[in-house]
Amino acid sequence: MPHHEKVALAGVIEHVFAHRFTVLCNDEQVYLADLGPKGAEAFPLKQGLSVRLEGEQRPSEIKVARIARKGGAFVAVEHKKPHHGPKHPHADVPADPRIVVAAVKKAGWSVTGKPQRKPKHFEVLARHDAGDWTELHVDFAGAIYKQKAADHAKWDLPA
């Protein structure tokens, strides 16, 4: 998992895009920052507002952890982890690719290659009958919780 650098900066809000905004700092550098929908409810964003913020520098933006008006108290911002829904429990079972392949085949899919192990699931290249190749995300218990068109470059498929 990547480690993101912690940053703290102060500046003026230039543009607001729902829960994302740009901050112009004293050094004339502009940063894109993200409060998240809940954070924008807790701290209303306004163009021209002087702010201080702290957060994690991501490749595309700063994920704001705390924000304050100039001279004001900080407001904590919580960024929830993605929720996969009730069909996607992370079962406490060993990560066995044989269980995953057997479950995918039982569901009517033809599997090619070896499943790719991820921290909490496997990714499997499969298809129904002679249909298009599909990337399946399968938890360790064998539940298929996500299907998407296979990325030809990732799976080394002909174009």
Tokens describing residue 62: 């700063």
CA distance 83 to 93: 20
Q: How far is CA 54 from CA 19, 69, 75, 90, 159, in A?
A: 16, 12, 10, 32, 44
CA distance 80 to 88: 17
Quick: pLDDT tens for 48-86.
Answer: 999 999 999 998 999 999 999 999 999 999 877 665 555
Report the CATH architecture of 5-76. Beta Barrel (2.40)
Tokens describing residue 24: 């112009």
What ranges do the domains of the chain cover? 5-76, 84-159
- Among left, alpha and beta (phi > 0; psi -120 to 50; other), residue 114 is beta
Give the dihedral sign, CA 57/58/60/61.
Answer: negative
**Domain 84-159: which topology?**
Nuclear Transport Factor 2; Chain: A, (3.10.450)
Confidence of residue 158 (pLDDT cuts 50, 70, 90): confident
Of 158 and 87, more confident:
158
Quick: pLDDT tens for 86-145.
Answer: 555 555 678 899 999 999 999 999 999 999 999 889 999 999 888 899 999 998 888 888
